[in-house]
Amino acid sequence: MPDFNTFETKIGYTFKDKRLIEQAFTHRSYLNENRSVGRLGREGPGRAGEHNERLEFLGDAVLELAVTEFLFAKYPEKPEGELTAYRAALVNTISISDAATKLGMNDYLLLSRGEARDTGRARQIILANAFEALIGAIYLDSGYTRAKEFIAAQLFHKTEDVVAKRLWQDAKSKFQEISQEKEGITPGYQLLDQSGPDHDKVFVVGAFIGGQKIAIGEGRSKQEAEQDAAQKALLAKGW
């Protein structure tokens, strides 16, 4: 079992209910491979021996609210559409998995041997899920204000970069606009593969221009995979 005390020191927060932090880092695959891990201590919100998907569900909602409040206050003149785009850029898989990586969350994940070997996009998704679960755990342990303080420390500093570099712009729209301008062709997308159980699917999508595959993207939904493919296609074409 990882030493979560070290991680608590790193984030400057000590859990009152230690079961919550353990649950936040526990992937479903770990429990499937370690069935002897008992579901103990059901008093209170933290549940030993349970995976992090419920905490992820809760943390996702807390994350979206905290970022929405921050952007609403920071940009009083911006219209709803731009604020929505800024928020999407701040809370997407790439952004929050990057924050999780900088916190060293990789070192504390409880995964099956198979999942532990995953790299690239698959590991990004696992890290993003754990980051959201950690937010959910802090929320249950100490409430919204403390959870928002954690989110602020990890994500809010990215906002200026998102706005200055137009990282909020929809990758598919940008790819289509430049492709039509330079190639005279509207790009298309094709589902190449999907794997995983219904609650944790990974979709693989190819971005094409005139039948030529430019890049491949992955995501937890077809839409997210298409956005990832479009972003990678922009890089591949040097656009």
Measured CA to CA, the distance from residue 44 to residue 8 in angstroms comes to 20
Q: Which of 50, 115, 132, 141 is catalytic?
A: 132
Residue 221, exposed/middle/buried by CB under 10 A (0-12, 13-18, 19+)? exposed
* DSSP H or E stretch at residue 216: strand 212-219
Could you confirm whether 181 is annotated as catalytic? no
Could you confirm whether 8 is annotated as catalytic? no
Q: What are phi and psi of 41, to 5 degrees?
A: 60, 60
Q: Which of 60, 115, 218, 226 is catalytic?
A: 60
Q: How many CA atoms lie within 13 A of 68 on its CB side?
A: 9
* Residue 212: Cβ within 10 Å count: 10
Among the residues of 75-189, which ranges form H helices?
Answer: 80-91, 93-102, 113-116, 120-142, 144-155, 159-164, 171-182
Q: What is the DSSP letter of 26?
A: B
Positions marked active-site: 60, 132
